[in-house]
Structure 1
């Protein structure tokens, strides 16, 4: 019995889609080349990144969801969605390797009248200039004539309890109007609203704008945090007052870094045809990345100064890091600033430990970091406790009372009870 949907890539992008489709009654196949990931899902073990709970996975499996490392089933699906990761490479360009591998795997099995969708973060032109040739050359079919091809940016917010797949409008842009309609017909089964972009390029640029908007505004908040600390101004009180403005202002919070799968993008960094010499770099995005990339160093500087002000050197100090994920209440550590902060503290000679209810094990520089199992006791013993991520389970009133010294990088605790970023 052919699946209506095949999802390629069962990571933080693909699993939520597979879950939503299964819940909507869409027969769904999940393909991933990683045997460990697939075996874990089949055995009912949810991924450590928090993209799926054990209960949700059980419901998916009982509803017929099937995960596999065998790609043959891709050719029997009516709709195939590529959710491969596209991290930033060393050259600051998106690494499309996994998308290319997914395309080649699918192309060898692609059948006419299939709808192929790309959800991975991509530059404007990726679907048409990178994905389309791979699919056509490997299958002998022509996109827009023999099969439908479209781009639909992934817009999910991991851990968000209000806005999920069904309630987040889905943007789709097709290679042709018929491709867009085929994409909209599929997404109409799993989400409440589908928004049609003019083409794949417009849909890809939606992702570009949304991602860069987040990074630029967080960078502004981070710069204001440093400025306000130098001026002796309470930034968090400034934010509390500013966010009462009913127009023209949206509050963003500073923090020790940004993290996440949505990395800042500059089309000038994409190698290949049509991307060299555009001459219009996204300067604000470049500056935002510089600002945000400085934050882990700034946090470590604040740690050293706080310890020194309280008669303690960073060398030999016991520093406890609370929350090492990139978002609250999820286990995903993608892009988290915690590893760099821990590394810099270790280089200063500090003794670093961590606590995170969503992370059972954590390593830095190839060495395991000691995990504090008894949270309140560990906080009381540490020379400095640093809140990097505010998980709901953290009682900041109680932790502040126990801590010798606490740096709150999220402004989550009561005003005046801890040092804030």
Structure 2
């Protein structure tokens, strides 16, 4: 322990980061920028080859940061997991998706833990950052390490520290977001906290890995439940002829006791649509049922169908059927101005429209073409973001509030716009005669 703490203190510790995606790559760069030697591990050779060339495949992570890391000779990327044996600290940033029935899929964590176990040696620190249910680190990961004969804290250190990445955000970064750290024992907490303190602005130690795992779930469940609330209110107020966006603007003038959340076409990103179900699944194992979580998930996952229903009704009002109608969806990203489409509701909206007989296209400058995901394979390419291109469609569905979609001139020749983000409405507030009909969804 003293040796590892000394290596951390003098920046001679070698840090390995497994997974070079939206979480792992910025984390690796932050540790390199703090003076550590860093190796990024990934199973995808396209990613590691790009990193070795100094290229970034994530838009909000500039290529200049990657090229500077490579030029420093203190950063490398590899698919060779045998090099884990050289690392003093190993940080695990791999996916934790849901299965077909919303059951947690920890197979990536388990597979990664088995790879680490093959090379685990005395004096190493292993930290899991992938969001998961309480008990994963101290029960499952530790059990995978057990056959090595090494024990924590006598031989190695094991902790959990949840990632808190928000791609594209400018007011907080990997370095400035407070880092929660909890070990499977106090020594592991101390070592992990020391490592993160050497690279990040603030570290928040907690009593155990289970507390750290639970804190991440609470953060995302809080958002999921509140977004579900406003999504449900959106549907109710719409039937009453009340604009939920105006209601929210009025409510948030209260200087205390209220925090605004906003409706949308469904949840996207890796965290909020998935993480709450990790806790509800674990709760059932203990004989409890997380009804708020399940209800929120039910409401949020049906929002794409609500959007498609609004499109169908709006077309009916124009004397058109959804079957055979030309519909374009604006935005594949799950949030504005980023190139991240993980769990984006736009994919389901496109598929539901297609299944209903519509002729579908999309527009998103961040994605020249759709790619195959775990659940979708649309095989589409983006249309140009121009008024002329938009004029060819019977309906335009705004799903993602990219800045490029906020030019009112884009909709001058459109006939029907279905706005799920309250973006186009304000643009067309003073619309001229002949401007498109606007429907909020």
TM range (shorter): over 0.9
Q: Normalising to structure 1: TM-score of the pair?
A: 0.94
Residue by residue over 1:192-244, the C-alpha shift from the partner in whole angstroms, topping out at 9 and shown as x without a partner, is 11111111111110011111111111101110111111111011111111112
Is residue 2:238 matched to residue 1:238?
no
Matching residue of 2:8: none
2:127 to 106, 112, 117: 117
Matching residue of 1:200: 209
Is residue 2:354 matched to residue 1:343?
no
Matching residue of 2:417: 406
SS state at 2:268 partner: coil
1:168 to 169, 177, 196: 177
Is the contact made by 1:408 and 1:420 (CA closer than 8 Å) also made in structure 2? yes
Residue by residue over 1:140-193, the C-alpha shift from the partner in whole angstroms, topping out at 9 and shown as x without a partner, is 210222111111011111111111111110000111211111111111122211
Change (3 A) 1:127 1:51: farther
2:321 to 292, 295, 313: 313
Change (3 A) 1:419 1:328: same
Is the contact made by 1:7 and 1:30 (CA closer than 8 Å) also made in structure 2? yes
Deviation at 1:81, TM superposition (A): 0.3
Deviation at 1:411, TM superposition (A): 1.1
Deviation at 1:318, TM superposition (A): 1.3
Matching residue of 2:4: none
Matching residue of 2:78: 68
User: Cα RMSD over matched residues?
Assistant: 1.9
SS state at 1:368 partner: coil
Matching residue of 2:87: 77
Deviation at 1:310, TM superposition (A): 1.5
Is the contact made by 1:173 and 1:196 (CA closer than 8 Å) also made in structure 2? yes
SS state at 1:66 partner: strand
Matching residue of 2:7: none
Aligned residues: 415
Matching residue of 2:6: none
SS state at 2:119 partner: coil
Q: Distance in 2 between matches of 1:407 and 1:276?
A: 39
Q: Distance in 1 between matches of 2:93 and 2:60?
A: 13
1:178 to 178, 187, 196: 187
Change (3 A) 1:183 1:3: closer
In structure 2, list runs of 5 or more residues that go unmatched.
Answer: 1-10, 432-437
Q: Distance in 1 between matches of 2:245 and 2:255?
A: 18
1:250 to 242, 259, 267: 259
Q: Normalising to structure 2: TM-score of the pair?
A: 0.89
Q: Distance in 2 between matches of 1:102 and 1:256?
A: 34
Change (3 A) 1:285 1:409: same
SS state at 2:201 partner: coil
Matching residue of 1:392: 403
Q: Distance in 1 between matches of 2:164 and 2:35?
A: 22
Deviation at 1:16, TM superposition (A): 1.6
Change (3 A) 1:392 1:20: farther
SS state at 1:81 partner: strand
In structure 1, list runs of 5 or more residues that go unmatched.
Answer: none
Deviation at 1:414, TM superposition (A): 4.0
Q: Distance in 2 between matches of 1:187 and 1:97?
A: 26
Is residue 2:290 matched to residue 1:282?
yes
Deviation at 1:110, TM superposition (A): 1.4
Residue by residue over 1:116-155, the C-alpha shift from the partner in whole angstroms, topping out at 9 and shown as x without a partner, is 1000011011100001111232x32102221111110111
Q: Distance in 2 between matches of 1:109 and 1:90?
A: 33
Matching residue of 2:28: 18
Q: Distance in 2 between matches of 1:172 and 1:197?
A: 6
Q: Distance in 1 between matches of 2:412 and 2:184?
A: 59
Is residue 2:147 matched to residue 1:127?
no
Matching residue of 2:168: 159
1:149 to 138, 158, 179: 158
Change (3 A) 1:229 1:184: same
Matching residue of 1:226: 235
SS state at 1:265 partner: helix
Moved over 6 A (4+): none
Is the contact made by 1:260 and 1:326 (CA closer than 8 Å) also made in structure 2? yes
Change (3 A) 1:411 1:118: same
Q: Distance in 2 between matches of 1:407 and 1:41?
A: 40
Residue by residue over 1:225-280, the C-alpha shift from the partner in whole angstroms, topping out at 9 and shown as x without a partner, is 1111111101111111111222211111111111111122243524xxxx764221
SS state at 2:349 partner: helix
Q: Distance in 2 between matches of 1:109 and 1:331?
A: 35
SS state at 2:175 partner: coil
Is residue 2:52 matched to residue 1:42?
yes
